[in-house]
Structure 1
Amino acid sequence: MPDFRRKRLGHDVPFWIDPTQEAFFITINSAPRGRNQLAKPEIWEVLCESVEFREQREEWKWCLFLAMPDHLHGIISFPAGFALRASVAAWKRWLARNHDIRWQDGFFDHRLRSPESASQKANYSLENPIRAGLAAERDDWPYVRDRRR
């Protein structure tokens, strides 16, 4: 009988890629899906403060950060010496311990290979609340930080 279990994909950047010159599109899901843990003013404030804190420590840089009720989207880059998997895992662990946010294991990431790809992923993220029926227009959704503007 075939094994249809979901396989884990690695988040390690290939050795030939300079991570300081790359941006990644990431999606992080909360658990269980369908329950609003993230699109709340008090949680959004915590998420933003924690992102800013880690940015001040130069662990990462978020170009776009958007919270949906049960997942996050973002475009993120990392300076030398910081790893995608370890940084995101540590952040999720801190949020779980200190703010009772429950996460699914792992996360999805996609290395953005061009400015056009980054723009497409940003537009996809910004349209997400509209597709979900949570906002009529992009500017109506309060749980977004877009540094491209």
Structure 2
Amino acid sequence: MWRLHAHNKLLYWGLLPTLTFLFLAALGPGLFETSATTVTSWQFAVFDVLCHQDPFRSFSISGIQMAVCARCLGIYAALLMGWILLPVYAYLEKGKSKIEKGWLIAAILLNLADVLGNYFGLWTNTLISRFILGALLGLPLAFILVHEFFTINNSE
């Protein structure tokens, strides 16, 4: 019988509200207000250093631009979802493989190829494609930490 053993519980549960706040803040002022000056909102100030916040590359809520671009939103959404699913992932993985770094490298290369392909006019990426590629980057970021918080023991 496989048993999930959690360690660093305080850190795991402490980061959950932080990641939730980060995701909700990334949604921008449209989530909280019906009219806002996006440039001066606190959400834009939080992500100013991390994201280019290009209005043409960002989703909107209630007609108001989100605080991050579609790719960054995908990263934050998948990071939060991955964090929530970390115990399930640890149980399903059962410590057999440590391929998360490979997933992360592949996701970085996919995002780099997308950015370069768009830059050189080989294709035009969309908000949805940017979001999906960002999510493919955010998920391994969470899963790469699985061994810091969970181990699986075979208690036969």
TM-score, normalised relative to structure 1: 0.25
Bigger helix share: 2
Larger radius of gyration: 2
TM-score, normalised relative to structure 2: 0.24
